[in-house]
Amino acid sequence: MPEFVDTSPPGQCIFCRLIAGEIPASRVYEDDVTLAFLDLAQLNPGHALVTIKRHADTLLDLTPDEAAAAMRTAHRVAQGIRKAFDPPGLTLLQCNGVEGGQTVGHFHIHVVPRFADDGVGLVWPRKDPPREVMEATAARLRDALAVFA
């Protein structure tokens, strides 16, 4: 479980207050839709968060244009991190819901420069289902995606 979960009402969450300038932030990039700022809990120097200015709890609450804008900003910030810190690796992390590891109820993407032996890890317990289960799962997802065509 996450260490901290911000359950403030929309518009009063820590990111909404940060976007509004009510609390300080080390801002690194801003446009009409997005804001990028340094995470207070720096995993490595340059660890930034990209968020949408409009309050949206998760990725599923974004419009397609907002989702695209967030990824464009994450890409831009990643390029800046590469130029400023020259990390040999980079991790993008975007969590949704408490069970997904989200700690602030306002959509955001972590852009984390990575270095050998930096202590940052990701637990990924593989399930390795059989092929027939994979095909049934793919069919179920294809059916669900058909409504968005």
Per-residue pLDDT reduced to its tens digit, 3-41: 556 666 666 899 999 999 999 999 999 999 999 999 999
State the catalytic residues.
108
Q: What are phi and psi of 76, to 5 degrees?
A: -60, -45
3 state SS of 4: coil
Average pLDDT, the chain: 93
pLDDT reading at 2 higher than 60:
no
Give residue 12's pLDDT: 83
User: What percent of the chain is predicted at pLDDT more than 70?
Assistant: 93
Average pLDDT over residues 99-118: 96
Closest among 96, 109, 25, 95 to 66, alpha carbons compared: 109
Average pLDDT over residues 69-95: 98
Question: Residue 92, Cβ neighbours under 10 Å: how many?
Answer: 14
Average pLDDT over residues 113-141: 94
Q: Please, what CATH class does the domain formed by 14-121 belong to?
A: alpha beta
With cut-offs at 50, 70 and 90, classify the pLDDT of residue 1. Answer: very low
Average pLDDT over residues 59-78: 98
With cut-offs at 50, 70 and 90, classify the pLDDT of residue 50. Answer: very high
- Write the CA distances from 14 to 10, 19, 51, 96, integer angstroms: 10, 9, 12, 16
3 state SS of 92: strand
- The contacts of residue 25 (CB under 8 Å, 6+ apart) are 18, 37, 38
Domain boundaries of the chain, sorted by first residue: 14-121
With cut-offs at 50, 70 and 90, classify the pLDDT of residue 114. Answer: very high
Q: Which two tokens stand for residue 88?
A: 């040999």
